[in-house]
Amino acid sequence: MKIEVWSDFVCPFCYIGKRRLEHAMEKFSHRDNIVLEYKSYQLDPTAKHIPGKDFYQTFSELKGLPLNQVKAMNGQVGEQAAAIGLTYNFDTMKYANTFDAHRAAKFAETKGKGKEITERFLYAYFTESKLMSDHDTLAELAEEVGLDKEEVKEVMESNRYAKEVREDINVAHQIGVRGVPFFVFNEKYAVSGAQPEEVFHEVLNKVWEEEKDKPIIQEIDIAKNSETSYCTDDGCEIKEK
Protein backbone atom coordinates (compact mmCIF):
# COMPACT_ATOMS: atom_id res chain seq x y z
CA MET A 1 0.00 0.00 0.00
CA LYS A 2 1.31 3.42 -0.94
CA ILE A 3 0.49 6.49 1.15
CA GLU A 4 1.43 9.96 -0.09
CA VAL A 5 1.26 12.81 2.40
CA TRP A 6 1.21 16.46 1.36
CA SER A 7 2.31 18.65 4.25
CA ASP A 8 4.25 21.73 5.29
CA PHE A 9 6.83 21.95 8.07
CA VAL A 10 5.08 24.93 9.70
CA CYS A 11 1.60 23.38 9.59
CA PRO A 12 0.54 22.43 13.15
CA PHE A 13 -2.08 19.95 12.01
CA CYS A 14 0.41 18.29 9.67
CA TYR A 15 2.49 17.15 12.64
CA ILE A 16 -0.62 16.07 14.52
CA GLY A 17 -1.97 14.22 11.49
CA LYS A 18 1.39 12.56 10.90
CA ARG A 19 1.51 11.23 14.43
CA ARG A 20 -2.09 10.01 14.36
CA LEU A 21 -1.43 8.16 11.11
CA GLU A 22 1.69 6.59 12.60
CA HIS A 23 -0.26 5.43 15.66
CA ALA A 24 -2.88 3.87 13.37
CA MET A 25 -0.16 2.19 11.32
CA GLU A 26 1.35 0.66 14.46
CA LYS A 27 -1.93 -1.19 15.04
CA PHE A 28 -2.32 -2.16 11.38
CA SER A 29 -1.41 -5.81 10.82
CA HIS A 30 -0.08 -5.14 7.31
CA ARG A 31 2.05 -2.12 8.23
CA ASP A 32 5.17 -3.75 6.75
CA ASN A 33 3.49 -3.50 3.34
CA ILE A 34 3.11 0.26 3.51
CA VAL A 35 5.28 2.65 1.51
CA LEU A 36 5.05 6.17 2.94
CA GLU A 37 6.05 9.21 0.89
CA TYR A 38 6.03 12.85 1.98
CA LYS A 39 5.16 15.52 -0.57
CA SER A 40 5.94 19.23 -0.48
CA TYR A 41 3.34 21.92 0.11
CA GLN A 42 3.57 25.56 1.21
CA LEU A 43 0.82 27.18 3.21
CA ASP A 44 2.35 30.60 2.64
CA PRO A 45 4.81 30.80 -0.28
CA THR A 46 5.44 34.49 0.53
CA ALA A 47 6.29 33.91 4.19
CA LYS A 48 9.43 35.49 5.60
CA HIS A 49 10.99 35.70 9.02
CA ILE A 50 10.99 39.17 10.56
CA PRO A 51 13.51 39.46 13.42
CA GLY A 52 12.02 40.97 16.54
CA LYS A 53 8.45 40.01 15.68
CA ASP A 54 7.12 36.92 17.43
CA PHE A 55 4.86 34.24 15.98
CA TYR A 56 1.67 35.65 17.51
CA GLN A 57 2.25 39.13 16.08
CA THR A 58 3.06 37.78 12.64
CA PHE A 59 0.05 35.46 12.58
CA SER A 60 -2.24 38.20 13.90
CA GLU A 61 -1.24 40.58 11.12
CA LEU A 62 -1.33 37.86 8.48
CA LYS A 63 -4.87 36.73 9.34
CA GLY A 64 -6.21 40.09 10.46
CA LEU A 65 -7.22 38.68 13.84
CA PRO A 66 -6.90 40.16 17.36
CA LEU A 67 -3.80 39.04 19.23
CA ASN A 68 -5.76 37.49 22.08
CA GLN A 69 -7.82 35.44 19.60
CA VAL A 70 -4.67 34.19 17.90
CA LYS A 71 -3.22 33.10 21.24
CA ALA A 72 -6.43 31.33 22.19
CA MET A 73 -6.62 29.50 18.85
CA ASN A 74 -3.05 28.32 19.02
CA GLY A 75 -3.52 27.31 22.63
CA GLN A 76 -6.27 24.93 21.53
CA VAL A 77 -4.02 23.51 18.81
CA GLY A 78 -1.28 23.03 21.39
CA GLU A 79 -3.67 21.02 23.55
CA GLN A 80 -4.46 18.70 20.64
CA ALA A 81 -0.74 18.23 20.04
CA ALA A 82 -0.09 17.50 23.71
CA ALA A 83 -2.82 14.85 23.69
CA ILE A 84 -0.71 12.73 21.32
CA GLY A 85 2.65 13.46 22.94
CA LEU A 86 3.79 16.51 20.95
CA THR A 87 5.01 19.78 22.43
CA TYR A 88 4.24 23.05 20.60
CA ASN A 89 6.08 26.13 21.83
CA PHE A 90 4.17 28.93 20.11
CA ASP A 91 5.73 31.56 22.41
CA THR A 92 9.15 31.09 20.83
CA MET A 93 8.19 29.75 17.40
CA LYS A 94 9.77 31.53 14.42
CA TYR A 95 7.57 32.18 11.39
CA ALA A 96 9.54 31.35 8.24
CA ASN A 97 9.45 30.40 4.58
CA THR A 98 9.75 26.63 4.11
CA PHE A 99 10.73 26.35 0.44
CA ASP A 100 14.39 25.62 1.17
CA ALA A 101 13.43 23.17 3.92
CA HIS A 102 11.40 21.28 1.34
CA ARG A 103 14.40 21.31 -1.02
CA ALA A 104 16.54 19.86 1.75
CA ALA A 105 13.91 17.16 2.34
CA LYS A 106 13.92 16.27 -1.35
CA PHE A 107 17.68 15.86 -1.20
CA ALA A 108 17.27 13.69 1.91
CA GLU A 109 14.88 11.44 0.00
CA THR A 110 17.63 10.66 -2.52
CA LYS A 111 19.72 9.41 0.40
CA GLY A 112 16.92 7.31 1.89
CA LYS A 113 16.32 9.77 4.73
CA GLY A 114 13.02 11.35 3.69
CA LYS A 115 10.96 10.15 6.65
CA GLU A 116 13.72 10.90 9.15
CA ILE A 117 14.22 14.47 8.02
CA THR A 118 10.48 15.15 7.92
CA GLU A 119 10.17 14.19 11.59
CA ARG A 120 13.32 16.13 12.51
CA PHE A 121 12.18 19.30 10.75
CA LEU A 122 8.72 19.22 12.34
CA TYR A 123 10.16 18.71 15.80
CA ALA A 124 12.74 21.44 15.19
CA TYR A 125 10.07 23.98 14.26
CA PHE A 126 7.30 23.22 16.73
CA THR A 127 9.28 22.10 19.78
CA GLU A 128 12.73 23.63 19.45
CA SER A 129 11.68 26.88 17.74
CA LYS A 130 14.33 26.58 15.03
CA LEU A 131 14.36 29.04 12.14
CA MET A 132 13.44 26.77 9.23
CA SER A 133 14.55 29.18 6.53
CA ASP A 134 18.13 29.38 7.81
CA HIS A 135 20.51 27.32 5.69
CA ASP A 136 22.98 26.58 8.47
CA THR A 137 20.14 25.37 10.68
CA LEU A 138 18.79 23.10 7.96
CA ALA A 139 22.25 21.65 7.32
CA GLU A 140 22.80 20.98 11.03
CA LEU A 141 19.43 19.25 11.37
CA ALA A 142 20.12 17.19 8.26
CA GLU A 143 23.44 16.11 9.70
CA GLU A 144 21.62 14.81 12.77
CA VAL A 145 19.71 12.30 10.63
CA GLY A 146 22.87 11.09 8.90
CA LEU A 147 23.36 13.43 5.96
CA ASP A 148 26.57 15.21 5.04
CA LYS A 149 26.36 18.73 6.43
CA GLU A 150 28.55 20.33 3.78
CA GLU A 151 26.69 18.59 0.98
CA VAL A 152 23.40 19.93 2.33
CA LYS A 153 24.88 23.43 2.45
CA GLU A 154 25.87 23.10 -1.19
CA VAL A 155 22.30 22.12 -2.05
CA MET A 156 20.97 25.11 -0.13
CA GLU A 157 23.28 27.52 -1.91
CA SER A 158 22.09 26.26 -5.29
CA ASN A 159 18.62 25.91 -6.78
CA ARG A 160 18.71 22.12 -6.73
CA TYR A 161 15.45 20.27 -6.00
CA ALA A 162 13.38 23.42 -6.53
CA LYS A 163 11.75 21.76 -9.53
CA GLU A 164 10.78 18.70 -7.48
CA VAL A 165 9.22 20.86 -4.77
CA ARG A 166 7.19 22.84 -7.30
CA GLU A 167 6.09 19.62 -9.00
CA ASP A 168 4.65 18.32 -5.71
CA ILE A 169 2.81 21.60 -5.17
CA ASN A 170 1.47 21.59 -8.74
CA VAL A 171 0.21 18.02 -8.39
CA ALA A 172 -1.52 19.00 -5.17
CA HIS A 173 -3.37 21.76 -6.98
CA GLN A 174 -4.26 19.41 -9.84
CA ILE A 175 -5.84 16.83 -7.55
CA GLY A 176 -7.77 19.45 -5.63
CA VAL A 177 -5.78 19.86 -2.43
CA ARG A 178 -7.04 22.95 -0.62
CA GLY A 179 -5.24 22.43 2.66
CA VAL A 180 -2.84 20.13 4.45
CA PRO A 181 -2.27 17.54 5.71
CA PHE A 182 -3.67 15.63 2.74
CA PHE A 183 -3.29 11.87 2.51
CA VAL A 184 -3.65 9.81 -0.67
CA PHE A 185 -3.85 6.03 -0.42
CA ASN A 186 -2.84 3.98 -3.48
CA GLU A 187 -3.30 7.05 -5.70
CA LYS A 188 -7.05 6.50 -5.35
CA TYR A 189 -8.41 7.24 -1.88
CA ALA A 190 -7.98 10.65 -0.24
CA VAL A 191 -8.25 11.77 3.37
CA SER A 192 -8.06 15.46 4.21
CA GLY A 193 -6.99 16.89 7.54
CA ALA A 194 -5.60 15.57 10.82
CA GLN A 195 -8.28 12.93 11.26
CA PRO A 196 -8.59 10.93 14.49
CA GLU A 197 -6.47 7.78 14.74
CA GLU A 198 -9.61 5.64 14.44
CA VAL A 199 -10.40 7.15 11.06
CA PHE A 200 -6.92 6.40 9.72
CA HIS A 201 -7.16 2.83 11.01
CA GLU A 202 -10.51 2.39 9.31
CA VAL A 203 -9.15 3.75 6.03
CA LEU A 204 -6.08 1.50 6.17
CA ASN A 205 -8.26 -1.57 6.58
CA LYS A 206 -10.74 -0.45 3.93
CA VAL A 207 -8.05 0.21 1.32
CA TRP A 208 -6.25 -3.04 2.12
CA GLU A 209 -9.40 -5.15 1.81
CA GLU A 210 -10.49 -3.50 -1.42
CA GLU A 211 -7.10 -3.54 -3.10
CA LYS A 212 -5.34 -6.68 -1.87
CA ASP A 213 -6.83 -9.07 -4.43
CA LYS A 214 -6.77 -6.71 -7.38
CA PRO A 215 -3.91 -6.91 -9.89
CA ILE A 216 -1.82 -3.79 -10.06
CA ILE A 217 -2.58 -3.54 -13.76
CA GLN A 218 -5.91 -4.77 -15.11
CA GLU A 219 -5.81 -6.10 -18.66
CA ILE A 220 -8.45 -4.86 -21.08
CA ASP A 221 -10.71 -7.65 -22.34
CA ILE A 222 -10.04 -7.91 -26.08
CA ALA A 223 -12.05 -9.97 -28.56
CA LYS A 224 -11.12 -13.65 -28.40
CA ASN A 225 -10.41 -13.93 -32.12
CA SER A 226 -7.89 -11.10 -32.13
CA GLU A 227 -4.27 -12.03 -32.69
CA THR A 228 -1.21 -10.53 -31.12
CA SER A 229 2.48 -11.18 -30.49
CA TYR A 230 4.08 -11.26 -27.07
CA CYS A 231 6.99 -12.59 -25.06
CA THR A 232 7.06 -14.59 -21.84
CA ASP A 233 9.87 -16.07 -19.75
CA ASP A 234 9.79 -19.06 -22.10
CA GLY A 235 10.24 -17.09 -25.31
CA CYS A 236 8.27 -15.08 -27.84
CA GLU A 237 5.04 -16.03 -29.55
CA ILE A 238 4.54 -14.45 -32.98
CA LYS A 239 1.07 -14.53 -34.48
CA GLU A 240 0.92 -14.16 -38.23
CA LYS A 241 -2.01 -12.37 -39.85
pLDDT at 220 over 70: no
Q: Which CATH superfamily, name and number, covers 2-210?
A: Glutaredoxin (3.40.30.10)
Assessment of whether the complete model's pTM goes beyond 0.85 = yes
Mean per-residue pLDDT of the chain: 91
pLDDT given for residue 51 in this prediction: 92
CB 1 within 8 A of CB 208: yes
Main-chain dihedrals φ then ψ at residue 157, nearest 5 degrees: -75, -10
Domain boundaries, the chain: 2-210
CB 42 within 8 A of CB 8: yes
Report d(CA 89, CA 117) in Å as an integer. 20
- Residue 214's pLDDT band (boundaries 50, 70, 90)? low
pLDDT tens string 168-190: 999 999 999 989 999 999 999 99
DSSP code at position 3: E
pLDDT at 203 over 80: yes
Length of the chain as a residue count: 241
**Residue 110 CA to chain centroid, in angstroms?**
15
